[in-house]
Chains A and B, each alone.
Chain A
Amino acid sequence: MFEIMDKKLLAPNIKWIRVRAPIVARNAHAGQFVILRLHEKGERIPLTLFKWNEEEGYIELVFQEVGKTTYELGSYEPGDKIMDVVGPLGNPTPIQNYGTAVIVSGGVGAPIGYAVTRALKEAGNRVVSIIGFRSKEYVILEDEFKKISDELLITTDDGSYIRKGFTTDVLREYLENGGKADYVFTVGPVIMMKLISQITKEYGIKTDASLNPLMVDGTGMCGACRVTVGGEIKFACADGPDFDAHQVDFDELMSRLVEYRPEEKIALDKYMKGGC
């Protein structure tokens, strides 16, 4: 059992938790994820690591309440226990000194972007963080990014904070204005990653995208998370989750992500009716 040590509401339906999981913390790297199962009847869901601390034996996760399991996790309070947490899973993001690295994160991709930004910064890169949110109230982790970014560009879809526009607009302006980018890492909604990768392809910038397909076991066993990369089938859990963004079939990923929408709705409705 894995105890929730602390919890915060970062934005509407976006929560941060710290979970005691020493065995996960000791081997964790940026870009990796855990699979958790709340209880005996729970499903296994992947959540990417935000922070971890080996000495104190904890990991930190940020998640958005969208389905039954994330709502239920959101209802857990410090002291409550998650039945199963396994990880770190997936391959760490390949970290090296590229020169200038631009990290483009959208929405709840931001915590993953944060972990990667920090690792790239520690590897000696000049790091430029571009983060996009729906609106002012959804802005998260601004202070954290500020501390580790050489340049921080925040945007909101509706212009309610800092500026109006998508991360794609910000990246394009940055590059058009002669901003340097030797490497781009992108994480967030699939459509955003697809458009970001189109821009960086035009500019010929090496780009990795952190993919978020459906998973069951998360260890290479089932193939639910399969994606097409460069015409080949890859398992995001075992071969990824990061892939060369210019080779990823994002349309297929988008289609596969919504496979269980109807069932997700049934489960959520049932949970909400059951009272939370």
Chain B
Amino acid sequence: MPKPLKKQRVPMPEQDPKERIHNFNEVALGYTWELALEEASRCLQCPVNHAPCIKGCPVDVNIPGFIKKIREKDIKGALEIIHETNALPCITGRVCPQEQQCEMHCVMGKVGDKINIGKLERFVADEAKKMGIYPEVYIAPNNGKKVAIIGSGPAGLTAAADLVKMGYDVTVFEALHDYGGVLIYGIPEFRLPKEIARYEVEYLKSLGVKFIKNVVVGKTLTIYDILNDYDAVFLGTGAGTPNFPNLPGVNLKGIYSANEFLTRINLMKAFKFPEYDTPIKRGKKLAVIGGGNVAMDAARSALRIGYEEVYIIYRRTKEYMTARKEEIKHAEEEGVKFMFLVSPVEFVGNEEGNVKAVVLIMNELGEPDESGRRRPKPVPGTEFGLEVDAVVFAIGQRPNKVLYQEVPELKVTKWGTLIVDEKYRTTMKGVFAGGDAVRGEATVVLAMGDGKRGARAIDEYLKGEPWPEKIEPKNF
């Protein structure tokens, strides 16, 4: 007798919203063995060659394979299967948009809830970490070639992991004073504890990857300096420069980019001021402009540092928001207020130059734009004011030009992203790039996928594949 299908997924225990808005501890608490075994038992174990979930994964994790190992209570085995293609499962298990990737394709969806793949991946990684288990990985003997990775975010860390295993001498350069890129300055503690990024970096160090911080490539060292010392370079420098709209009052005090707001809180720990030296303004009402994951992170962080009323101001309707459903749900549970079909037109300051209100205008949705989403159109005469003490812009970022502004060989698109071909080759010989630096703002796991394929391309190049005469730009 076949066992009946368990249609409902096992929910992940979470901190109570009323409590969690007063702390920065992780919201999702993780599966216990019991819960993980129950969820793993729901998997239909599609054959690896056809498993739709694997096709949905940007880094090709053998999902049925590791779930089978969970069922067998073999954490080391599960970890090793994941590590075949994904060196950062503690991170992807937390921040991947699984609902748009592996889980979207899960066959169980036809009869019930899809398997909670992300949470199971996290369970494996966390359990292994707790038990001090590391995967046994094969590290090829040193081949005498050196590769520099610029940026220690998800793209760079992934490329570093793969290249060191292939036998390269790998050095990661980081501009900030800590490693992890967006994982440490952008994504808040309550979604991805910093200790996890640190753990993954320590693991890469144990494999032989070298890390050097406080080096701004383009300033401290140029790309030319690096190419003198290394056989190839991978640029995983992200999309770190925030956009500000050209609206009246946008430079009033109390108006932040999400990058500044989150960097102060996450990287500099301003939520512990004055124990930590970096301050942040703590007022009562804060408005976040934008509808992506970064906007949710900023809004939820604002609640945690004591803002009482936090608004998400989004120009389209809820279904167009780019944030993950889970993040929107968490924000709603925590009391973030959402305003749809509104855009800021002006910021009003008090006599000291602090923002005191934002003037908003109502939108209606017009024709679809190039992204296929209906374009918001302001409706004249519908302006109204919202009193605030602070505003955070989370309306996208572009790549930081500091790296390549004095490197004419490196060509960029009109959006400022580096031009690369399908093998992640830039327009400069020996220089590869991936992640947000070539995509604009995307996700951690897409950056990791680029890091992986970039590492493979670097390997081919260093084994003698000729550099093309002309780079055929790849569209992302």
Contacts and interface: CB of A to CB of B under 8 A. Distances in A.
Q: Does A pair with B? A: yes
A189 interface: no
* Chain B contact residues: helix, strand, loop or mixed: loop
Interface stretch (A108-116, A150-158, A165-173, A255-263): A255-263
Point out which of A219, A222, A226, A260 has the most chain B C-beta atoms below 10 A from its C-beta: A222
A227 B251 CA distance: 8
A41 B275 CA distance: 7
Interface in B234-293: 240-242, 244, 246, 250-251, 253-254, 256-257, 259-260, 263-264, 268-269, 273-279, 281
Nearest to A45: B277
Nearest to A253: B251
A263 B250 CA distance: 22
The dominant DSSP class at the A interface is mixed
Interface stretch (B139-147, B160-168, B209-217): B209-217
A264 interface: yes
Contacts of A222: 242, 257, 259-260, 263
Contacts of A266: 274, 279
B348 interface: no
B268 A220 contact: no
Nearest to B186: A221
A254 to B, nearest CB: 9
A224 interface: yes
Contacts of A220: 240-241, 400-402
Contact of B263 (A68, A86, A217, A252): A217
Given A24-B220, A217-B176, A270-B274, A43 B402 contact: no
Contacts of B279: 43, 260, 263-264, 266-267
A44 interface: yes
Nearest to A267: B274
A68 B281 CA distance: 17
Interface pairs A-B: 6 shortest CB-CB = A263-B279, A222-B260, A43-B277, A255-B353, A86-B214, A84-B177
8 contacts: A27-B221, A43-B276, A88-B220, A220-B402, A260-B279, A263-B273, A263-B279, A264-B279
Given A43-B278, A217-B263, A270-B274, A228 B251 contact: yes
A10 interface: no
Contacts of A233: 244, 246, 250-251
Interface residues of B, number: 42
Given A89-B216, A89-B219, A238-B241, A267 B277 contact: yes
Given A41-B269, A86-B175, A228-B251, A223 B401 contact: no
A86 B277 contact: no
A41 B219 CA distance: 25
Interface in A195-225: 216-217, 219-224
B214 A84 contact: yes
Contact of A221 (B244, B263, B281): B263
Contacts of B240: 219-221
Nearest to A69: B277
Contacts of B175: 86, 217, 219
Contacts of B241: 220-221, 235, 238
B173 to A, nearest CB: 11
A87 interface: yes
A77 to B, nearest CB: 20
A238 B402 contact: yes
A47 interface: no
Interface residues on A, range: 35 or more
Nearest to A231: B246
Given A41-B276, A220-B241, A220-B400, A87 B268 contact: no
B213 A84 contact: yes
Contacts, number: 126
B268 A216 contact: yes
A84 B267 CA distance: 14
Contacts of B269: 41
Interface in A117-167: none
A4 interface: no
B277 A223 contact: no
A238 B185 CA distance: 19
A81 interface: no
B179 to A, nearest CB: 13
B277 A87 contact: no
Nearest to A86: B214
A23 interface: yes
A219 to B, nearest CB: 5
A101 interface: no
A256 B213 CA distance: 30
A87 B219 contact: yes
Given A43-B276, A223-B244, 19 more contacts: A37-B177, A41-B269, A41-B275, A41-B277, A69-B277, A86-B216, A87-B216, A216-B264, A216-B268, A219-B175, A219-B400, A221-B185, A233-B246, A238-B241, A255-B253, A263-B274, A263-B281, A267-B273, A267-B279
Given A221-B263, A223-B242, A68 B278 contact: no
B220 A27 contact: yes
B401 A216 contact: no
A158 B201 CA distance: 56
Contacts of B220: 23-24, 27, 86-88
Interface string B186-219: 0000000000000000000000000001111001
A86 B218 CA distance: 12
Contact of A226 (B244, B277, B402): B244
B177 A83 contact: yes
A179 interface: no
Nearest to A270: B274
Interface in B54-68: none
Contacts of A227: 251
A255 B251 CA distance: 10
Contacts of A255: 253, 352-353
Given A27-B221, A220-B401, A221-B259, A44 B251 contact: no
A87 B401 CA distance: 16
Nearest to A255: B353
B457 to A, nearest CB: 27
Nearest to B275: A41
A197 B146 CA distance: 50
A85 interface: yes
Interface-central residue, B215, B246, B274, B275, by most chain A CB under 10 Å: B274
